[in-house]
DNA sequence: ATATAAAAGATATTAATTATTCATTGATAA
DNA sequence: TTATCAATGAATAATTAATATCTTTTATAT
């Protein structure tokens, strides 16, 4: 898996540096949809000299070659996800937690919508908003 | 219609200023989902002294009392819509145009998703991405 | 008409992100 | 193993959307 990423980077003429692999692995091994800042902090022990600019550059790079996706929940900063398949997300309005949603997604055939809008449709994003299990206790 | 808005503002203890009514009317009379900046420019002839801060403050206010909704298409800035009902949008990846989508929306019962996620769900947003009729010509 | 609290306008500030520069380091191919 | 070219890190600056601050103006109730 990590091997795959390294070779995929090389195939694109991009060097497989430890920083890049570490950033990708963080995303691959979490369900928390972290922000650039969160990833940066999470790597500070392993890479004390890691630059925040490197994190941003790497996230942009990985997005560009389709290894991760950028998701925008509407507040503050971007979140990142190693699951590049279209899938819905749910956002806690209080603590800003972002989770995956199972059990529902938009039909993958865009034909009807394309006919109605006359757009050529490539992708979609579906977001739900509400209160997570923790935050809904305090209403 | 404009009368309604003015009285609704007053009912909430909010002053019905010409600037606020003008901003609301722009949104009520367009299908283009303008940004704060676009609204600001659109009012510059009618209100040469209008401050951009006033536009932002008013848009926040109108959103808060439910007269308009804020939509986030994932790029650059927020867009605003006087149609406060949940409805999907489609975004042109090239020219950033935002249109309404007819013929499809998420089922309004959140029961299944609530059961799966254990969230209390309040709302959703559905965005499609692609190329508008104009931009898809140049592929 | 007047008083008053709210809002407007002007300006400054915040904060995420991107960009620039440049010396040092290191991944990769030969 | 070595040379090369890309990437890192550090420091700093630029962007840009959005907010905050403060003084002046004004909508509204009396
Ligand atoms: Mn996800
Ligand atoms: Mn709309
Ligand atoms: Zn929460
Ligand atoms: Zn377009």
CATH code: domain of residue B98: 3.30.1490.190
Give the range of the structural domain holding residue A23, as residue numbers without chain letter: 1-84
**Which residue from B minimizes the CA distance to A134?**
B119
Chain B residues with CB-CB distance to A92 below 8 A: 119
**A55 nearest nucleotide via C1' and CA:** D8
Contact between B129 and A121 using a beta-carbon 8 Å cutoff: yes
Domain count, chain A: 2
- For the cut 60, the answer to whether the pLDDT of residue A65 exceeds it is yes
What local confidence, expressed as pLDDT, does residue B3 receive?
56
If asked whether residues A48 and A77 sit together in one domain, one would say: yes
If asked whether residues B67 and B91 sit together in one domain, one would say: no
- For the cut 90, the answer to whether the pLDDT of residue B108 exceeds it is no
Among the three residues A63, A84, A105, which one is the final residue of a domain in this structure?
Answer: A84
If asked whether residues A74 and A92 sit together in one domain, one would say: no
If asked whether residues A15 and A78 sit together in one domain, one would say: yes
Q: Mind listing the pLDDT tens digit for each residue in B49-77?
A: 999 999 999 999 999 999 999 999 987 89
Give the mean pLDDT of B76-91.
Answer: 95
CA distance B129 to A86: 12
Chain B residues with CB-CB distance to A124 below 8 A: 126-129
CATH number at residue A12: 1.10.10.10
- For the cut 60, the answer to whether the pLDDT of residue B2 exceeds it is no
CA distance A139 to B71: 25
If asked whether residues B69 and B112 sit together in one domain, one would say: no
CA of B29 to C1' of C2 (A): 38
Q: Are B37 and B49 in contact (CB under 8 A)?
A: no
CA distance B60 to B38: 15
Q: For helices B18-28 and B2-11, give the axis angle rounded to 10 degrees.
A: 130
Q: Whole-prediction pTM value? A: 0.90
**Which residue from B minimizes the CA distance to A108?**
B128
- CA dihedral for B42, B47, B49, B54, sign (positive or negative): negative
């Amino acid at each position: 898996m990590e091997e795959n990423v390294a070779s995929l980077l090389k195939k694109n003429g991009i060097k497989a540096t430890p920083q890049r692999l570490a950033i990708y692995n963080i995303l691959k091994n979490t369900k928390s949809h972290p922000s650039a800042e969160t990833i940066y902090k999470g790597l500070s022990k392993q890479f004390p000299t890691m630059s925040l600019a490197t994190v941003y550059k790497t996230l942009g790079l990985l997005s560009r070659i389709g290894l991760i996706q950028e998701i925008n929940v509407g507040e503050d900063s971007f979140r990142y996800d190693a699951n590049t398949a279209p899938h819905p997300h749910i956002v806690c309005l209080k603590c800003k937690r972002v989770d995956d949603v199972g059990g529902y997604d938009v039909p993958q055939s865009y034909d009807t919508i394309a006919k109605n809008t006359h757009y050529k449709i490539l992708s979609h994003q579906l977001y739900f908003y509400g209160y997570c299990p923790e935050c809904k206790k305090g209403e």
